[in-house]
Structure 1
Amino acid sequence: MPYKYLSGFGNDFATEALPNALPEGQNSPQKVAYGLYAEQLSGTAFTAPRADNQRSWLYRIRPSVCHTPYSPVTAASDIVGSFGVGSKDSHCVSTPNQLRWSPFEIPETGKVDFVAGLHTLAGSGDPSTRTGIAIHIYAANASMENSAFYNSDGDFLIVTQQGRLDIQTEMGHLLVEPNEICVIPRGIRFSVKLPDGPTRGYILEVFDRHFELPDLGPIGANGLAAPRDFLYPVAAYEDVDGTSYKITTKYQGRLFSVSQGHSPFDVVAWHGNYAPYKYDLRKFCTINTVSFDHIDPSIFTVLTVKTSVPGVALADFVIFPPRWMVAENTFRPPYYHRNCMSEFMGLVSGAYDAKAKGFLPGGGSLHSMMSPHGPDRTTFEKASVDALAPIKLRPDGLAFMFETSHMLSLAPWALDKNLAGGRVLQDDYYTCWQGLEKHFDPTKPEGVWADKK
């Protein structure tokens, strides 16, 4: 099928699959064209400031309220709703230890679709109070059939790592491939098909506010992610009756479902600024140093979710794409670091410049607030004596980071020693720093590295 998109970040779009399906002058006229129903989808409070207000009007064949009552779903996957001490999910574990996971396995037996393949890795807060975030992994081998999903708890930012996702939403279709991301805001129904077969990826969920472009500050008017490169779906309706559709929602970390006798993707036209979108990470304009030192990773921020504290993010989505490094007298890999943020790293392809081995595509790592981290011994020693010629850093790789100002707790699934036969959680991750030697010599102000070049 053809995929058509509207470009521009957060624009007030208008799109219709039939001519004149969008009303003129009134969002909810007495009689809508083609016998459609008008339905508003609000992503913010009605009274949010105009610059922050997000809502869309949908003109659909039936309103979305036409369904049976909600029933709890017994999920095969492990989805956690709350991460606070003493909460109903207090079995979550808090640890300052540095953690790393090998590639999360894709199921090889049975039919596991996108919803069944969701597993919570870590998080903070509680969606019932609109505070915090969650990090999930998805691994699926089957398309969703006659079913849809929507998230009542927050917005999903989906990072595809293996296999394309053909996502049908109420607003239209998105085809998302590795090296692309998509954002599906709270409450929007969608279904995922797998045109390439088995798939795997990462999800950052935010319980409060919405993703936006970071301020550019001294960078100026251009750079990082350009608004025009964000693509929104064009209206494309599905008029199907007589088929039972299952609609599943994640509500406070629990799954509930309803059934209805018609397709949920029956929106003929829509207009507004509350809609799903995708972005090609290869279009990110990287900012880097050309003189000396190592600029903070905030220059790689694609999208952010702000808090009420200026400069402090609930969540940042940061990428480390292929790029030229042309710095003088500079240690190029990420420096050793202790941070007031929590950092989850993932790898889409290739390798990451801070680790010589062990960090693989489809895996991940978590460095919690104020837990030290940095390059392993091999990387440190090589970077300390490398010739400072211009290099193309990781031309085959794309790494990313979910960064948050919250302290994260681990879901039981993330620490399960039986996961994939104990091969996923790397108990020996800490050893990558154990071999770092003492190089201090008070008799050599020039340091030992002068002898090793």
Structure 2
Amino acid sequence: MKYNSGFGSHFATECLEGALPVGRDQLIPGQNSPQKCPYGLYAEQLSGTAFTVPRHDNQRSWLYRIRPCVMHTPFKRIQSDNLVRQFSVENDQEPNAECHATPNQLRWSPFEISSEKVDFVQGLHTICGQGSPSSRNGLAVHVYTCNTGMKKKAFYNSDGDMLIVPQDGDFICKTELGNLEVKPGEIVVVPRGIRFAIDFEDGPRRGYVCEIYDRHFEIPDLGPIGANGLANPRDFLYPVAAYEDIEDRYKIINKYQGYLFAAEQGHSPFDVVAWHGNYAPFKYDLSKFNAMNTVTFDHPDPSIFTVLTVKSGNPGVALLDFVIFPPRWMVAENTFRPPYYHRNCMSEFMGLISGGYDAKKEGFVPGGASLHSMMTPHGPDSDVFEAASNEELKPLKLRPDGLAFMFESYLMLSVSKWALEKSANSGGKVLQEDYYKCWQGLKKHFDPSKK
């Protein structure tokens, strides 16, 4: 499959020669002028930012399609019980709130995949989040578990951008602007408003989604690192134009203010013959991340592993950092190499794509997750601490098969009832109620006579 490359670049792509508009010196009156698009196409602008933001922040694309998006029946609300709409916690005024506040360390075993036919949208479940999509403030973290592709369906999110992290099973992310093949070890970002479908041959699929209600994903500034390192812009891949000219009934599902709505139209929504601009979905292969690490001593902060960031209004503080912990060499001397015990002014949601994670010997497995809330202490379990404190420090390739990630946010995340009700003691479900016990074996080593 062919792609455009370069993070945030302006692209121009067409399926049919001459489908894109041309410069004034090439105009042929009545054929390719702005008054009449080539091939009888409709022009449609898709704006991801306000028209008047500074030029370097402006994101928009022009789409040239067989029919405009406006041709659909009225939207009607459909069932969306799996999704949290407002992250207001339960109190006397709202006894039926959809989520709860808890400072406890939380961990989940792999989320179950239904035996019934469930597609990507039907399989979305909210784990935690904060803020409100209607005020364009905050984020939500979901998992998806599904087993069938989206046939004659398309989905778009009016609430925000979606970062999708597959853990089990590959898929085609079919979008208005073209198609992206995505597999575990890669990510895909679909910006607000772009119609897409997750399609694949029937079989189990599982992964994670972070939805941001404000701003867009960026690659982080490199500062003292210099011009190279972390995620390189050229490795972000964007679709080339690919269209369908199909007359059939399609269901269009829209997420709006936390609710799902559905409409119908009589043609494929994937009918864009050409497009140009910089507002588009993209994918990234996490194995291309150029990890930075210490080559002397001490443990760098996890911000050194940031792939994508979403800025807040406070400089240097992220609404969301997407951080990965990839295979890498550990060579630090005189250093406790696993993550140190810490309390953080950020909230940390972690998932595991493959292999293991160096701070947890057991319990944190691929397809599961953990949440360590703001200022809640956490760190390696007791067995990992003892081993790391006493091992001989030689150069070590850390878990060649391991790939973990973290959604880190300055917001205090509330947890959905669905996630809290998935008790490990009720029908084989997945919340690990004994997670706290992994630290209870930490021994007292203090001896005032030993300097």
What's the TM-score, normalizing by structure 1? 0.95
Residue matched to 1:100: 107
In structure 1, distance between residues paired with 2:33 and 2:157: 26
% identical aligned pairs: 69
Q: Tell me the alpha carbon deviations over residues 50-105 of structure 1, each in whole angstroms, 9 at most, x when there is no partner.
A: 01110000000000000000001124x50112103467973310000000000001
In structure 1, distance between residues paired with 2:181 and 2:354: 19
Given candidates 123, 126, 135, the residue that maps to 1:120 is: 126
In structure 2, distance between residues paired with 1:192 and 1:293: 43
Residue matched to 1:438: 444
User: Do the aligned residues in 2 keep the contact of 1:127 with 1:207 (CA within 8 Å)?
Assistant: yes
Residue matched to 2:9: 11
Alpha-carbon shift at residue 396 of structure 1 (Å): 1.0
Which amino acid in the other structure matches residue 12 of structure 1? Answer: H
Q: Tell me the alpha carbon deviations over residues 368-393 of structure 1, each in whole angstroms, 9 at most, x when there is no partner.
A: 00000000000000000010100001
In structure 2, distance between residues paired with 1:135 and 1:418: 19
Alpha-carbon shift at residue 197 of structure 1 (Å): 2.1
User: Do the aligned residues in 2 keep the contact of 1:83 with 1:89 (CA within 8 Å)?
Assistant: no
406-415 vs 25-34, greater mean Cα deviation: 25-34
Which amino acid in the other structure matches residue 84 of structure 1? Answer: S
Which amino acid in the other structure matches residue 324 of structure 1? Answer: W
Which amino acid in the other structure matches residue 173 of structure 1? Answer: N
Given candidates 62, 67, 73, the residue that maps to 2:72 is: 67
SS in 2 for 1:345: strand
User: Do the aligned residues in 1 keep the contact of 2:109 with 2:369 (CA within 8 Å)?
Assistant: yes
Alpha-carbon shift at residue 195 of structure 1 (Å): 3.6
Alpha-carbon shift at residue 395 of structure 1 (Å): 0.8
In structure 2, distance between residues paired with 1:274 and 1:239: 23
In structure 2, distance between residues paired with 1:111 and 1:397: 30
Q: Is 1:238–2:238 an aligned residue pair?
A: no
Q: Tell me the alpha carbon deviations over residues 124-151 of structure 1, each in whole angstroms, 9 at most, x when there is no partner.
A: 0001111000000000001111000001
SS in 2 for 1:247: strand
Q: Tell me the alpha carbon deviations over residues 301-350 of structure 1, each in whole angstroms, 9 at most, x when there is no partner.
A: 00000012110000000000000001110000000000000000000000
SS in 2 for 1:285: coil
Given candidates 6, 18, 21, the residue that maps to 1:20 is: 18
User: Do the aligned residues in 2 keep the contact of 1:350 with 1:396 (CA within 8 Å)?
Assistant: yes
CA RMSD after TM alignment: 1.5
User: Do the aligned residues in 2 keep the contact of 1:81 with 1:89 (CA within 8 Å)?
Assistant: no
SS in 1 for 2:385: helix
Alpha-carbon shift at residue 181 of structure 1 (Å): 0.2
Matches within 5 A, 1:26-105: 29-75=34-80, 78-85=82-89, 90-105=97-112
Alpha-carbon shift at residue 196 of structure 1 (Å): 6.7
Which amino acid in the other structure matches residue 386 of structure 1? Answer: E
Q: Is 1:292–2:297 an aligned residue pair?
A: yes
Residue matched to 2:204: 198
Residue matched to 1:448: none
In structure 1, distance between residues paired with 2:423 and 2:430: 9
Matches within 5 A, 1:160-179: 160-179=166-185
In structure 2, distance between residues paired with 1:297 and 1:418: 30
Which amino acid in the other structure matches residue 372 of structure 1? Answer: P
Residue matched to 1:385: 390
Q: Is 1:399–2:397 an aligned residue pair?
A: no
In structure 1, distance between residues paired with 2:86 and 2:228: 39
SS in 2 for 1:421: coil
Q: 1:265–1:57: structure 2 CA closer, same or farther, 3 Å change rule? A: same
Q: 1:220–1:87: structure 2 CA closer, same or farther, 3 Å change rule? A: farther
Q: 1:177–1:28: structure 2 CA closer, same or farther, 3 Å change rule? A: farther
418-427 vs 306-315, greater mean Cα deviation: 418-427
SS in 2 for 1:379: helix
Q: Tell me the alpha carbon deviations over residues 252-295 of structure 1, each in whole angstroms, 9 at most, x when there is no partner.
A: 11100000000000000000000000000000000000000000
SS in 2 for 1:413: helix
Which amino acid in the other structure matches residue 13 of structure 1? Answer: F
User: Do the aligned residues in 2 keep the contact of 1:80 with 1:89 (CA within 8 Å)?
Assistant: no
Q: 1:220–1:188: structure 2 CA closer, same or farther, 3 Å change rule? A: same
In structure 2, distance between residues paired with 1:87 and 1:284: 44
Alpha-carbon shift at residue 28 of structure 1 (Å): 8.5
Unaligned runs of 5+ in 2: 25-31
In structure 2, distance between residues paired with 1:329 and 1:225: 29
In structure 2, distance between residues paired with 1:409 and 1:28: 53
Q: 1:116–1:196: structure 2 CA closer, same or farther, 3 Å change rule? A: closer
Matches within 5 A, 1:182-331: 182-195=188-201, 197-241=203-247, 243-331=248-336
In structure 2, distance between residues paired with 1:222 and 1:214: 12
User: Do the aligned residues in 2 keep the contact of 1:342 with 1:406 (CA within 8 Å)?
Assistant: yes
Alpha-carbon shift at residue 418 of structure 1 (Å): 5.6
Q: 1:436–1:250: structure 2 CA closer, same or farther, 3 Å change rule? A: same
Which amino acid in the other structure matches residue 383 of structure 2? Answer: T
Matches within 5 A, 1:364-375: 364-375=369-380
In structure 2, distance between residues paired with 1:196 and 1:281: 25
In structure 1, distance between residues paired with 2:442 and 2:293: 28
SS in 1 for 2:405: strand
Residue matched to 1:450: none
Matches within 5 A, 1:412-431: 412-417=417-422, 421-431=427-437
In structure 2, distance between residues paired with 1:417 and 1:318: 26
In structure 2, distance between residues paired with 1:232 and 1:196: 26
In structure 1, distance between residues paired with 2:343 and 2:234: 36
SS in 2 for 1:299: helix
In structure 2, distance between residues paired with 1:21 and 1:200: 38
Unaligned runs of 5+ in 1: 446-453
User: Do the aligned residues in 2 keep the contact of 1:164 with 1:196 (CA within 8 Å)?
Assistant: no
Q: 1:181–1:417: structure 2 CA closer, same or farther, 3 Å change rule? A: closer
Alpha-carbon shift at residue 417 of structure 1 (Å): 3.6
